[in-house]
Amino acid sequence: MTATFKLLRSSPFSARLGMAMVLITLLAAIFAPVVAPYGETEVAGDVWLPASADHWVGTDNLGRDLFSRLVYGARNTIAIAFLITALSFIVGTMWGFLAATVGGWMDQLLSRIVDILMAFPTLIFALMVLSVVGTSIPALVVVIALLDSTRVYRLSRAVAMDIEVMEFVEAARLRGEGLWWLMRHEILPNAMPPLVAEFGLRFCFVFLFIAALSFLGLGIQPPTADWGSMVRENSGAITFGIFTPLWPAGAIAFLTVGVNLVVDWFLHIASGLED
């Protein structure tokens, strides 16, 4: 704990700003029922009302309180994005380490499968699959996690191949350690810095990808609050000079910038470079 506090105290202003931005968003998501003055789907006024004491940032296209929708949208979007990122890392890292450690036909087989999946544009492939299997949250999680795991596979395989040839791994093999032991105790601890940094970046990509799918109507479905779908639902307000859709778009940018600031700091630490 002391080392953690010392590290946080020595962090640059950009990293502290990023952590504050992420913390504010997480607290709003966790305590959404307490923070939000209205329910997630409650109609609280007229359509596209301006900001007031009753509605801090106005109302949306159905008269629901926009601030409450933003808070509940943070909970839904962040939770699903985190679940997808975690699942993609479990799958991608496991297969990447396996390909690098076993090598030979296993490496060729997994790499060619990944090549086939990566040959299709991600957004088009996701739209095609979700149009067939439906737009439920489980389908959304599985499809995006599968697509994103191909990127994680590439990184984890490359990192593991560099570690796998190290002397301490060869010594563990000579001791008779098994494949799972090597992956868990030798490769994974040494691969953590780039993987943790990549986790933050991939979370941002997944977060933005979900928002893009929701904007196109194939992401998180209404009436569930989601920042991407909120932009789409209120896009017509721009025609009338009402800037309601800028609030969810700003929330997306706010969290993305915050996460990237923290990831940049972590990459700097992991690189071993000094200011």
Q: Is the dihedral of CA 77, 225, 211, 265 positive or negative?
A: negative
Predicted confidence at residue 274, as pLDDT, reads 47
Residue-wise pLDDT for 134-187, tens only, equals 778 888 899 999 999 999 999 999 999 988 888 888 888 888 888 888 888 889
* Cα separation, 32 vs 233, whole angstroms: 21
- CATH classification of the domain holding 189: 1.10.3720.10
Q: Which two tokens stand for residue 253?
A: 């940018």
Q: Is residue 7 part of a domain?
A: no
246-271 vs 188-215: helix axis angle to the nearest 10? 170
Q: What are phi and psi of 227, to 5 degrees?
A: -60, -40
Q: Look at residue 45 and tell me if it is in a domain.
A: no
Residue 1 belongs to some domain of the structure: no
Query: Which parts of the chain sit beneath pLDDT 50?
Result: 273-275
49 domain-assigned = no
Whether 5 maps to a domain, the answer reads no
At residue 273, the pLDDT reads: 47
Question: Is residue 29 in a domain?
Answer: yes
Range of the domain at 81: 13-35+55-271
Chain position carrying tokens 């994103």: 148
Q: Would you say residue 6 lies in a domain?
A: no
Q: What is the DSSP letter of 272?
A: T
H/E element, 177: none
* Alpha carbon separation from 112 to 107, 155, 174 (Å, rounded): 8, 15, 30
Task: Report yes or no on 180 lying in a domain.
Answer: yes
Q: Is 228 exposed, middle or buried (0-12, 13-18, 19+ CB in 10 A)?
A: buried
* pLDDT score for 120: 84
pLDDT at 275: 46
Quote the number of domains for the chain.
Answer: 1
DSSP code string of 21-90: HHHHHHHHHHTHHHH-SS-SS-B-SSTTPPP-SSSTT-B-TTSBBHHHHHHHHHHHHHHHHHHHHHHHHH
